[in-house]
Amino acid sequence: MHRLGIGPTEGWLLVVLAVMGAGLGVLAPGFASLPNLFDLLNVTAVNIIFGVGLLVVLIAGGIDISFAVAASVVQYVVALILPWFGGGDWALGLLLAAAFGTLLGCFNAFLIFQFRIVSIVVTIATFNLFFGLLMFFSGGVSIYDLPEWLTTRVAVIGLDTASGRAELTLPFFVMLACVVATWLLLRRISTGRQLYALGDNPDGARRIGIPIGAMHYLAFGWLGLMAGIAGLMQAHYAEEVVPNALYGRELDVLAAVVLGGARLGGGRGTILGVLLGVLLVAVTQNGLNLLGISPYAFKMIIGAIILIAITLSSEGVGRLLGGWRAPARRRAV
């Protein structure tokens, strides 16, 4: 298990996800069908892209509240600019979204690093700044007149099944690319290990010679990049750009990522955890829909799941059972 990168949190989530999947397979007609599962993956892609970006920031010891509205800004700006290029295409769209997203992320990094302000304060401010600017200049008006390539569904894999056509679409594959790239950064590249080190022990990282400023730009820039791409994917999926469509998404993503074992405060968190955390939330929502349960119950149930998950994580179980499984001691180094 450990060799595959499956820690206690990931193992726990896998079990819960499996139990829930099996339960829904029996109880909710249509859940276990390929079209439903594929669609689940297509819908979840945007949140997973956000999630892996946010993971990088959390690991480096920061937090970002502004990325979802930054993605809205990117969507809007890209939608406004594309006509100048005669409509553009996927390559140009992705390039612009990535560039603007990175720029906004680096703006956060600049404020946090240059003025030594805590990241939560900076990003709450930029959250309001980005969203306020967007609403002010857009007047809250949505853009429906998007280039045709952006609104056309791109089915990469299509299968005809007994329960209808199942398609895996472009957002899913873009998400795969983002996941692989982030995984490489965090696990396989020396620079990613420096990010972990910074979140784990900032003083130790400074002392050993890790460039703190560069790490800030890398982490927040990476989240910006992911947010830009996720924003474009969301516009593609929704076939429109609504300025406040992503408002509030930051907390959903943050909750799912923390559910996946990332620690607020840095140094801990895995890609697999993010995937499982986001998927668990998505499966719950999907299952509740299929079971015909009121959508108003959704938030309540997600909140309960997160509370249960974090109290019953491996250390929590130990505490519940007393000394049977001694909780891991954590001492300052």
Partner 1 sequence: MADPAEPGETIGLLELEHVSKQFGGVHALDDVRFDILPGEVLCLAGENGCGKSTLIKIISGVHQPEPGAVMRFAGQPMGTMTPGAARALGIQVIWQDLALFPEMSVAENIGFERNLGARPRPVNRTAMRGAAQKILDRLGVRLPLDAPLRTLPIAQRQIVAIARALVGEARIVFMDEPTASLSQAETDALLAIVRRLSAERIAVVFVSHRLAEVLDVCSRVTVLRDGKLVGTFPTAGMTQTRLTELMTGKSFDYAVGQRDLAAARPVLTVENLSRRGEYEDISLTIRAGEIVGVTGRLGSGRTEFALSLFGMTQPDRGTIMLDGKRVRFGSNRAAIRAGVAYVSEDRLQLGLVQPQSITDNTVIAVLDRLLGPKPLISGGKRDALVDDWIRDLGVKIGRKEDAVSTLSGGNQQRIVLAKWLATTPRLLVLDSPTVGVDVGARAGIFAIVRRLAEQGLAILLISDEIPEVYFNADRVLHMRDGRIVGEYRPAATAIDAIEEAVHA
Site string for partner 1, 265-304 (x = CB under 8 A): --xx------------------------------------
Instruction: State in angstroms the smallest separation of the CB of 61 from partner 1.
Output: 11
Exposure b/e, 85-117, CB count within 10 A at least 16 = b: eeebeeebbbebbbebbbbbbbbbbebbbeeee
> Residues 51, 68: contact at Cβ < 8 Å?
no
Binder to partner 1 among 83, 132, 140, 204 (CB under 8 A)? Answer: 204
In the chain, the amino acid numbered 309 is A
Distance CA 127, CA 125 (A): 5
> Residues 218, 19: contact at Cβ < 8 Å?
no
Q: Can residue 211 be called a binding residue for partner 1 (CB under 8 A)?
A: yes
What token pair was written down for 108? 């956060």
Site string for partner 1, 212-251 (x = CB under 8 A): --x-------------------------------------
Q: Which residue, 299 or 325, has its beta carbon nearer to partner 1?
A: 325
For residue 183, the number of C-alpha atoms closer than 13 Å in the C-beta half-sphere is: 13
Instruction: State in angstroms the smallest separation of the CB of 152 from partner 1.
Output: 36
Instruction: State in angstroms the smallest separation of the CB of 206 from partner 1.
Output: 9
DSSP assignment of 267-290: S---HHHHHHHHHHHHHHHHHHHH
Q: Can residue 50 be called a binding residue for partner 1 (CB under 8 A)?
A: no
Cβ neighbours of 84 (radius 10 Å): 8
Instruction: State in angstroms the smallest separation of the CB of 6 from partner 1.
Output: 14
Q: Can residue 116 be called a binding residue for partner 1 (CB under 8 A)?
A: no
Q: Can residue 193 be called a binding residue for partner 1 (CB under 8 A)?
A: yes
Give me the residues that bind partner 1 (CB under 8 A), please.
2, 187-194, 196-197, 200-201, 203-205, 207-211, 214, 267-268, 328-333
